[in-house]
Amino acid sequence: MTRTILTLEQMREAEQAAECSLGELMERAGEALAEAVALGSAPRAVLVLAGPGNNGGDGYVAARHLRDRGFDVRIAALADPKSDLAVDARTAWDGEVERLGDDTKPAPILIDCLFGTGLSRPLDDALAATLMRLAERAEFTIACDLPSGIETDSGALLSDVPEYDLTLALGALKPAHRLSPAMRHCGQVAVADIGIDAASDWFEIAEPVLPPARPEGHKYDRGLVQLLAGEMPGAIALAAKAAARSGAGYVRLFTSQPIEGLPDAIVQTDQGSVQDERIGCLLVGPGMGDIPVLITLALTAPKPIVFDADAIRHVGDPERLVGHDVILTPHEGELKALFGDIEGSKADRALVAAQRCQNVVVYKGADTLVAAPDGRLGFAPPAPSALATAGTGDVLSGIIATLRARGMDAFEAACAGVWIHGRAAERAGDPLIADDLIAALPDLT
């Protein structure tokens, strides 16, 4: 299922537009938090850390529900509640409230309700140290909405942040749940449906629906992927194999010298034209080296193109791509080489890049994003860090080129490729080499 991602501002608007009162939203949030804890553990000792705002308010509500479920609950508050809602939630709790400090005793279950979307500055050093200590001593840690210390829209860590087992996002995911470095601190991320109903162009990329192959179809129906080799054969060979194993009907490699070790089914030729009507998608860049004329050649084709790696570095001006049908797959360095320094969060940068070249941009990294010029933004679910090894990007470009050649729309193909790539890495284990990803592709495509 696709999960919506809302920014801080969108979340606040959605809260105001909700059909029920804010108090009711908080009641549902606290109840959902209690439910999540009860699902993960039999009744035992719980420590709720309550902050001064509504995140703290959620904590008081959760405490009440957990106690009703038989949990032995303590609350340690950083300060008295400040918002009206939090004051009400505090009043409805008739148990004791400790003052949070150096001497606060840990418990096997820790619920962090210190700060959520309202965090405006780093936690004080002493508070951050206390939070780290209590989380370390707990067996099950859960963050309410966001781990405290994380900036909602950028995913930046403003102070030391524990790595939680579970984060319960309230109403919708926020960018930080799917941006580095914050995402690795969230653990499993569940969304509590508290009655917020807001649409957004931002979402977490979900398992794709791939185009079915026609039973009576021929190889071109399944997509002809045309790759242009350059100076280094290894990278384009990986991309070609990935294309073939992602279900392309035909993979053809233009190369001046035959590349050894490729399956015979991948056709290698030094003859041919990028004008071939049957081409479903061109792929240029992996191992291209310093042969920028390949970019010019590809751009003469009236066909979809994937530009990866060296091709991205050699495009020159992003506006050159306007009017063409291109997917770009830059990592951080390649994005900078083509677009220069762009201000803002990774999400902002991805969207600006897509706008400037008027094409789909797959902005890779530990937190890969897929941006479309119309403002759609897909956030990859977490993928194994074992992907940080040479050649995995070449595999990704091969997968995306195939999905494009199979008839998927550019944005859909890019999102689907990123999802499949991440799942292939999960199957390949750790450590992995790029070739292992290819072996996992047939089951996923």
* Contacting positions for ligand ADP (CB under 6 A): 309, 331, 364-366, 368, 383, 385, 387-388, 390-394, 396, 421
243 annotated to bind ligand: no
Q: What does 112 bind: ligand NAX, K ion, ligand ADP, none (CB cut-off 5 to 8 Å by kind)?
A: K ion
* Residue closer to ligand ADP (CB basis): 66 or 236: 236
Q: What does 175 bind: K ion, ligand ADP, ligand NAX, none (CB cut-off 5 to 8 Å by kind)?
A: none
* Binding positions for ligand NAX, 155-194, rule CB under 6 A: 170-171, 194
* Residue closer to ligand ADP (CB basis): 162 or 287: 287
* Residue closer to ligand ADP (CB basis): 169 or 437: 437
289 annotated to bind ligand: no
> Nearest distance from residue 305's CB to ligand ADP, in Å?
17
> Nearest distance from residue 330's CB to ligand NAX, in Å?
33
Q: With CB under 6 A as the contact rule, which of the stretches 36-44, 116-124, 241-249, 402-410 interacts with ligand NAX? A: 116-124
> Nearest distance from residue 131's CB to K ion, in Å?
10
* Residue closer to ligand ADP (CB basis): 67 or 184: 184
Binding mask 340-379 toward ligand NAX (x if CB under 6 A, else -) reads ----------------------------------------
Whose tokens are 């299922």? That residue is 1
341 annotated to bind ligand: no
Per residue, the 3-state secondary structure of the chain, as one string, reads: CCEEECCHHHHHHHHHHCCCCHHHHHHHHHHHHHHHHHHHCCCCEEEEEECCCHHHHHHHHHHHHHHHCCCEEEEEECCCCCCHHHHHHHHCCCCCCEECCCCCCCCCEEEEECCCCCCCCCCCHHHHHHHHHHHHHCCEEEEECCCCCECCCCCCECCCCCCCCEEEEECCECHHHHCCCHHHHCCEEEEECCCCCCCCCEEECCCCCCCCCCCCCCCCCCCEEEEECCCCHHHHHHHHHHHHHCCCCEEEEECCCCCCCCCCCCEEECCCCCCCCCCCEEEECCCCCCCCHHHHHHHCCCCCEEEEHHHHHHCCCHHHHCCCCEEEECCHHHHHHHHCCCCCCHHHHHHHHHHHHCCEEEECCCCCEEECCCCCEEECCCCCHHHCCCCHHHHHHHHHHHHHHCCCCHHHHHHHHHHHHHHHHHHHCCCCCHHHHHHHHHHHC
* Residue closer to K ion (CB basis): 148 or 159: 148
> Nearest distance from residue 437's CB to ligand ADP, in Å?
9
> Nearest distance from residue 370's CB to ligand ADP, in Å?
11
Burial zone of 217 (CB within 10 Å; 0-12 exposed, 13-18 middle, 19+ buried): exposed
How far is the C-alpha of 249 from the C-alpha of 119, rounded, in Å?
52
Q: What does 368 bind: ligand NAX, ligand ADP, K ion, none (CB cut-off 5 to 8 Å by kind)?
A: ligand ADP
Tell whether residue 116 is a contact of ligand NAX (CB under 6 A).
yes
* Binding positions for ligand NAX, 199-228, rule CB under 6 A: none
121 annotated to bind ligand: yes
272 annotated to bind ligand: no
Closest residue to ligand ADP, judged by C-beta, is 393
* Binding positions for ligand NAX, 12-71, rule CB under 6 A: 15, 25-26, 29, 51-58
- Answer for which of 19, 42, 103, 120 binds ligand NAX (CB under 6 A) is 120
How far is the C-alpha of 4 from the C-alpha of 21, rounded, in Å?
22
Annotated binding site for K(+): which residue ranges?
55, 112, 148
Annotated binding site for (6S)-NADPHX: which residue ranges?
54-58, 116-122, 145, 235, 287, 331, 394
Interface with ligand NAX (CB under 6 A): 11, 15, 25-26, 29, 51-58, 82-83, 115-123, 144-145, 170-171, 194, 196
